[in-house]
């Protein structure tokens, strides 16, 4: 794997992909498990299935999240000290309409805890889509705007760009099931219509460097209370992983998630990081 080439692609376009991360024979059972649990626990009405804190509910993808190629790529971006900040199960069901262009946390300007626009030209958060179905034009492959991570803001009143309208040069996040696509959280992206009769299924895993404050995402923390709750503001929320679930996770995954444990001490997992 040419990590320099992947980083160059990330820097230029704002996204890149790593194929065949999830083995072919594992994709079907994982997809069925995830689609079932997303539909049963979605926090917004279908056809938009969305479950934050998904690893606390479903661990079927857990054995593959420390794939060596993905880990070494994230390390090449952030250095050796990074963690999983958010983990979300998603289903784009049949009939889902086009959504608004936006950047992700901490750059989304609707969030109470945010880096205010114009934001700096630095990667603080990496979004990865773990495709469990083929992503096609027809089934709602996410809309991306290459290079938009360098714009310093996302579409809205400040720059006069309608986030609901197509943008020149937009493309789709196309790929085969088993692929992982990574993008800079500043990149403009939007939900795409699914005109098929099948679900488009993915798990979104976000990675953060050690220095990014994740407490505004976590219920019950002082920063969540002061920055979000006290102002009745909008902000992404990541429920904690129950301790009994955390204890069952693969050992090589635990160092990336110990910060997310719902109960018990926040203590680092000792020993060198291992990749699979």
Q: What is the residue extent of each domain of the chain?
A: 3-260
pLDDT value of residue 238: 94
DSSP code of 213? -
pLDDT tens profile 59-105 = 999 999 999 999 999 999 999 999 999 999 999 999 999 999 999 99
Name the CATH superfamily, with its identifier, for domain 3-260. Answer: q2cbj1_9rhob like domain (2.60.120.620)
Cα-based distances in Å from 128 to 70, 172, 182: 9, 15, 4
Average pLDDT value over all residues in the chain: 93
Higher-scoring residue by pLDDT: 253, 271 = 253
Contact between 248 and 269 under an 8 Å Cβ cutoff? The reply is no
Percentage of the chain beyond pLDDT 70 is 95
Backbone CA torsion sign across 21, 23, 26, 28: positive
Percentage of the chain beyond pLDDT 90 is 92
Contact between 255 and 269 under an 8 Å Cβ cutoff? The reply is yes
pLDDT, mean of residues 5-16: 98
Predicted confidence band at 262 (pLDDT cuts at 50, 70, 90)?
confident
pTM for this one?
Answer: 0.94
pLDDT value of residue 126: 98
Q: Name the phi and psi angles at 82, rounded to 5.
A: -140, 170
pLDDT value of residue 158: 87
pLDDT value of residue 242: 95
pLDDT tens profile 156-178 = 888 999 999 999 999 999 999 99
Predicted confidence band at 154 (pLDDT cuts at 50, 70, 90)?
confident
pLDDT tens profile 205-220 = 999 999 999 999 999 9
pLDDT value of residue 263: 55
Give the residue ranges of DSSP H helices in 62-181.
Answer: 68-78
């Amino acid at each position: 794997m040419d990590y320099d080439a992947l980083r160059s692609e990330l820097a230029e376009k704002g996204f890149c992909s790593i194929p065949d991360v999830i083995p072919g024979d594992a994709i079907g059972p994982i997809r069925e498990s995830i689609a079932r649990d997303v539909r049963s626990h979605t926090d917004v009405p279908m056809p938009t299935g969305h479950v934050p804190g998904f690893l606390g509910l479903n661990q079927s993808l857990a054995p593959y999240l420390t794939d060596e190629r993905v880990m070494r790529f994230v390390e090449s971006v952030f250095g050796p000290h990074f963690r999983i900040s958010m983990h979300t199960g998603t289903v784009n069901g049949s009939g889902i309409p086009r959504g608004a262009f936006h950047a992700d946390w901490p750059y989304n300007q609707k969030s109470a805890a945010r880096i205010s626009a114009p934001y700096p030209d630095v990667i603080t958060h990496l979004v990865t889509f773990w495709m469990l179905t083929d992503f096609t034009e027809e089934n709602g492959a996410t809309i991306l705007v290459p290079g938009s991570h360098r714009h310093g803001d996302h579409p809205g009143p400040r720059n006069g760009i309608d986030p609901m309208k197509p943008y020149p040069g937009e493309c789709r996040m196309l790929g085969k099931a088993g692929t992982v696509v990574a993008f800079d959280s500043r990149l403009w992206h939007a939900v795409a219509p699914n005109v098929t009769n099948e679900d488009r299924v993915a798990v979104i895993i976000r990675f953060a460097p050690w220095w990014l404050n994740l407490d505004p995402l976590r219920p019950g923390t002082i920063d969540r209370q002061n920055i979000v709750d006290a102002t009745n503001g909008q902000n992404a929320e990541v429920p904690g992983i129950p301790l009994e679930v955390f204890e069952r996770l693969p050992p090589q995954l635990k160092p990336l998630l110990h910060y997310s444990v719902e109960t018990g001490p926040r203590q680092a997992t000792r020993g060198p990081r291992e990749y699979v």
